[in-house]
Amino acid sequence: MVSLAVGEQQVLRIKCRSRRGMSADLQVLDLSIGGAMVEARGWTGEAGDRVLITLPGLSAQPAELVWREDGRAGLAFEQPLHETVFDRFAGMLRAG
């Protein structure tokens, strides 16, 4: 899983795997040090689910699906992203 260039727009994707064995590659719509909002259409995760998330180039880390509405979902990271890592990914989102 990597970020992909679509036209001239960067698309950041996050791999999300649940304890039930379900896995999805989701587009990141917004990112903070403590979590992410993702495009969740077609994903079967439910609020309260514990998941493992993987951002490009990083190892998997635990997170919780805290809300889901209108085809979007909010993930809260168990451990906040390091500021340097956040800056790298946030720059990718701003470039798009």
Chain mean pLDDT for the chain: 87
Helices (H), 1-96: 83-95
User: Is the pLDDT at 76 greater than 70, yes or no?
Assistant: yes
CA distance 65 to 47: 5
| pLDDT digit string, tens, across residues 51-68 | 999 999 999 999 999 999
CA dihedral 80, 40, 16, 54 (to 10 degrees): -50
Domains, the chain, ranges and CATH? 4-95 (2.40.10.220)
Q: How confident is the model at residue 13 (pLDDT cuts 50, 70, 90)?
A: very high
Cβ count near 84 (within 10 Å): 7
Q: Under a CB-based contact definition with an 8 Å cutoff, are residues 14 and 31 in contact?
A: no
Residue 5: the pLDDT is: 43
Q: pTM for the whole thing?
A: 0.85
